[in-house]
C-alpha cells in the first residue's frame, strides 16, 4: 500500500474490512487494485497482507472496523507483538509471559450456507465437509479457543426465509456439522463448545426475541438427545446478530429463542452429547439492509436501533448494526460512528444488558417461543438438507 494516503486507508479499514457478502475471498481471487471499487471486487488475501507491514494500526479498534478473517488475524497478531514489546519494556523476559498469551479467533467456512443461499461454494459437498472436519480436528487439538465455524441463518433470512425456516435450516446445519466432527474422529465435547451461530434480526420485535429463545432450547435439546455431551458448554447456543428488516412479520422475534431450543433438541436426539455445553447454540446477529430505505435514510437509524434491541433481548452474544446509509452505498465515517454508538448507548445507558432473558415468564413470549419451536421441528428440514447433500 505504499503511496496510499493514510487518511484514505483509514476509510478503507473502517468501511471495507468486513467483506462477508463479497465473493472474491470465497473464490480465492486476488483483489482488484482499486480500493474503492463497487461490488464484489474489493477483498484482501493473505498474499497481500505484507503490504500492510509499514502501516501503523495504532488508534484503530477491531470492533469498530468490523474486521474479519485475514485482517482480523493480521491485526490481532500485531496487537500480540505490541503486548510482547510492552512486557519487555516492563523489564520482563519474553519467556516469562509469552507462553501465557491467548488469542481468540474464528472463521465462517459454512458450506451449507454457501450452497443453499449464496451459491458461492467451490468444492462438492463431500470434499467441503471433509475440510470442515479437518478444521474441527486441528483446532480442537491445537487451538481450543478458536471459533471453528459460524453457522449462518442471516443469509437465509435475507434470501426470504421466515423465522421458522431460518431457525430450522440453521439448526439442521449445526447438527450436520456435529456429525461431521464425529466422523472426523472427535468427541462432541472437543468441538461443540466452539460452534457459533449467526442470526438476522428484523423489525418484527417480539418474533425475533422468541426466535433466539426457541433456538437455544432447540439446540440444547437436540445435542443432549443425539450426542449426550458431558460438558454443559457444548449445549450453549452462542450467537452473533445482525440487524435485518426485510420481513415485518411477527415471526421474527421468537426465532432466536426457538432456534436454541431446536438446536439442543436435535443434538440431544441425534448425537447424545455428554457435555451439556455441546447443545448450547451460540449465535452472532447482524442487522440487514432490507429494511433500510434510500428515501429519508435517517429513519434507518430508528429501524436499526429497534432491531438491535430485539437482538439484545433475545440474548445474542455479539451484534452487528448496519449504517443508516447502507441503502445508498458504503458507509461514511459519520454513519459508521452512529452504527457503533447505537450499540454503546444500548449497552451502557439503557440497562437492558443487566438482565438475562427479561421476557422469560411472559405468556405472550413463552407462547410465541413454543410456537416457533414446534413449527421448526415439523419443517422436515433434515430431509431438505440430505436431499440437496446427496443430490449433488
Q: Would you say residue 247 has pLDDT above 80? A: no
- Measure the CA–CA gap between 364 and 246, rounded to whole angstroms: 23
Average pLDDT (362-387) is: 77
Cβ contacts of 146 within 8 Å, gap of 6 or more? 104, 105, 106, 139, 194
Tally of CB atoms within 10 A around 121: 17
Pick the more confident residue, 159 or 126: 126
Which of 67-76, 104-113, 208-217, 272-281 ranks highest by mean pLDDT? Answer: 208-217
Which of 56 and 109 is assigned the larger pLDDT? 109
Question: Which band of pLDDT confidence, cut at 50, 70 and 90, is reported for residue 40?
Answer: very low
Q: What are the backbone dihedrals phi and psi of residue 197, each rounded to the nearest 5 degrees, phi first?
A: -125, 160
In a 10 Å sphere around its CB, with 0-12 CB exposed, 13-18 middle and 19+ buried, how is residue 323 labelled? buried
Please give the span between the terminal C-alpha atoms of the chain, in angstroms, as a whole number. 42
Grid coordinates representing 12 are 478503507
pTM strictly above 0.75: no
Identify the residue with better confidence: 119 or 123: 123
More confident residue, 323 or 391: 323
Highest mean pLDDT: which range of 123-127, 172-176, 255-259, 281-285: 172-176
Tell me the C-alpha distance between 319 and 24, whole Å: 24
Higher-pLDDT residue of 79 and 128 is 128
Instruction: Tell me the average pLDDT across 172-191.
Output: 92
204 phi, psi to nearest 5 deg: -80, 90
**Contact, 253 vs 298, CB < 8 A?**
no
Percentage with pLDDT > 90 across the chain: 19
| pLDDT (0 to 100) of residue 223 | 92
Q: Which parts of the chain fold into alpha helices (H)?
A: 6-16, 24-27, 62-65, 69-89, 94-97, 111-113, 125-142, 154-158, 163-183, 188-191, 205-226, 255-270, 299-314, 333-349, 363-378, 381-391
Top-confidence residue, 220 or 384 = 220
**pLDDT category, 341, cuts 50, 70, 90?**
very high
Question: What distances in angstroms separate CA 268 from CA 178, 200, 227, 261, 326, one per listed residue?
Answer: 11, 25, 5, 11, 40
Question: Would you say how long the chain is, in residues?
Answer: 392
Query: What DSSP string describes 47-94?
Result: GGGGGGTTS--TT--HHHHT--HHHHHHHHHHHHHHHHHHHHHTT--H
Q: Which range, of 66-70, 253-257, 311-315, 318-322, averages the lowest pLDDT?
A: 66-70
The whole-number pLDDT of residue 284 equals 66
Q: In which residue are the cell numbers 509471559 written?
A: 97
Name the region of 37 (left: φ>0; alpha: ψ -120 to 50; beta: rest).
beta
> Averaged over 4-31, what is the pLDDT?
37
Could you read off the pLDDT of 350-359 as tens digits, one per residue?
Answer: 888 888 888 8
Integer angstrom CA distances of residue 41 from 8, 12, 19: 18, 14, 10
Give the pLDDT score at 242. 83
Q: Which residues contact 314 (CB under 8 A, 6 or more apart)?
A: 199, 201, 208, 209, 210, 211, 212, 213, 239, 241, 253, 256, 257, 285
Residue position matching grid coordinates 438475562: 356
- Using the predicted structure, report yes or no on whether residue 7 has a pLDDT greater than 70: no
Structural domains of the chain, ranges and CATH numbers in brackets: 6-99 (no CATH), 105-391 (3.20.20.240)
% of the chain residues with pLDDT over 70: 65
DSSP, residue by residue, 156-180: HHHTT--HHHHHHHHHHHHHHHHHH
- pLDDT at residue 259 is higher than 50: yes
Please check whether residue 108 is in contact with residue 67, taking contact to mean a CB–CB distance below 8 angstroms. no
Nearest to 227 by CA among 181, 270, 172: 270
Distance (Å, rounded) from C-alpha 115 to C-alpha 112?
5
Amino acid at each position: 500500500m505504499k503511496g496510499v494516503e493514510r487518511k484514505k486507508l483509514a476509510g478503507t479499514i473502517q468501511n471495507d474490512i468486513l467483506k462477508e457478502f463479497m465473493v472474491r475471498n470465497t473464490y480465492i481471487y486476488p483483489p482488484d487494485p482499486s480500493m474503492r471499487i463497487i461490488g464484489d471486487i474489493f477483498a484482501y488475501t493473505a498474499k497481500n497482507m505484507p503490504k500492510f507491514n509499514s502501516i501503523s494500526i495504532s488508534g484503530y479498534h477491531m470492533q469498530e472496523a468490523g474486521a474479519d478473517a485475514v485482517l482480523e488475524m493480521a491485526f490481532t497478531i500485531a496487537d500480540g507483538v505490541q503486548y510482547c514489546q510492552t512486557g519487555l519494556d516492563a523489564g520482563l523476559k519474553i519467556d516469562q509471559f509469552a507462553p501465557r498469551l491467548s488469542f481468540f479467533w474464528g472463521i465462517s467456512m459454512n458450506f451449507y450456507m454457501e450452497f443453499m443461499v449464496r451459491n458461492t461454494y467451490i468444492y462438492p459437498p463431500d470434499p467441503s465437509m471433509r475440510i470442515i472436519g479437518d478444521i474441527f480436528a486441528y483446532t480442537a487439538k491445537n487451538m481450543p479457543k478458536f471459533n471453528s465455524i459460524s453457522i449462518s441463518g442471516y443469509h437465509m433470512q435475507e434470501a426470504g426465509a421466515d423465522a421458522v425456516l431460518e431457525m430450522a435450516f440453521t439448526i439442521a446445519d449445526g447438527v450436520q456439522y456435529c456429525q461431521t466432527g464425529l466422523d472426523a474422529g472427535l468427541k462432541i465435547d472437543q468441538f461443540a463448545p466452539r460452534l457459533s451461530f449467526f442470526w438476522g434480526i428484523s423489525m418484527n420485535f417480539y418474533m425475533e426475541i422468541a426466535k433466539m429463545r426457541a433456538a437455544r432450547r432447540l439446540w440444547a435439546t437436540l445435542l443432549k438427545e443425539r450426542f449426550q455431551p458431558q460438558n454443559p458448554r457444548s449445549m450453549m447456543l452462542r450467537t452473533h446478530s445482525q440487524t435485518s428488516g426485510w420481513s415485518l412479520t411477527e415471526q421474527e422475534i421468537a426465532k432466536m429463542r426457538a432456534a436454541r431450543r431446536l438446536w439442543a433438541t436435535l443434538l440431544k436426539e441425534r448425537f447424545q452429547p455428554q457435555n451439556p455445553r455441546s447443545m448450547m447454540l451460540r449465535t452472532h446477529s447482524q442487522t440487514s439492509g432490507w429494511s433500510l430505505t434510500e428515501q429519508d435514510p435517517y429513519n434507518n437509524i430508528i429501524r436499526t436501533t429497534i432491531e438491535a434491541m430485539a437482538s439484545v433481548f433475545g440474548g445474542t452474544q455479539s451484534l452487528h448494526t448496519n449504517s443508516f446509509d447502507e441503502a445508498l452505498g458504503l458507509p461514511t465515517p459519520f454513519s459508521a460512528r452512529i452504527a457503533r454508538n447505537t450499540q454503546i448507548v444500548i449497552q451502557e445507558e439503557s440497562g437492558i444488558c443487566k438482565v438475562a432473558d427479561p421476557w422469560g415468564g411472559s405468556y405472550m413470549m413463552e407462547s410465541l417461543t413454543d410456537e416457533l419451536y414446534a413449527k421448526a421441528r415439523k419443517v422436515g428440514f433434515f430431509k431438505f438438507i440430505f436431499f440437496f447433500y446427496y443430490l449433488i
